[in-house]
Amino acid sequence: MRIYVLLAGLALPLAAQAQERGIAFVQAPEQSSGMAVGATAEEAFAAATAQCVEGGAMAQDCLQTNWCLPAGWSIDVFVQHQEGLHWHETLCGLPSRETAQEVAEVLCNRSARPYLIECELVQVFDPMGTPQIEY
């Protein structure tokens, strides 16, 4: 009888983990980007790539940059180098919105990155992938 209780106890965390969703980010530098949630990395990256293509990039240019399971809180930071190049830095799997915003502040610390002429948190995503900043 004890072994059945132990096995049932092990199945619960596995069932909960199976229901978790991850978040994927792709980026086509200087062109487009995409973000999607999904049960698997493959599912989420496919949806994020489709979003990137809808934004004007070719699928082969949409590079897979981040995958987190569980998704946690995520950020998208716009960054521009003093020589003109610009890109987005995305991080996921963060424990709270407050932590996400603090990480963005660290990424945009001009003392640590004096070569940046622009750095701004442009989006925060909750663990379900819902954007938190309205434009």
Domain that holds residue 30: 21-125
Q: Is residue 131 included in any domain, yes or no?
A: no
Distance separating alpha carbons of residues 54 and 122, to the nearest angstrom: 20
- For the entire predicted model, the pTM comes to 0.82
Residue 78 lies inside a defined structural domain of this protein: yes
- Does a structural domain hold residue 9? no
Q: Is 53 inside a domain boundary?
A: yes
Domain count, the chain: 1
Average pLDDT of the chain to the nearest whole number: 89
Output the pLDDT for position 68: 97
Neighbours of 126 (CB within 10 A): 15
What is the C-alpha to C-alpha distance for residues 94 and 81, in angstroms, rounded to an integer?
A: 26
6 is a domain residue: no
Contact partners, residue 131, CB within 8 Å, separation at least 6: 123, 124, 125
Domain-located, residue 1: no
- What pLDDT, in 10s, does the model give residues 62-108? 999 999 999 999 999 999 999 999 999 999 999 999 999 999 999 99
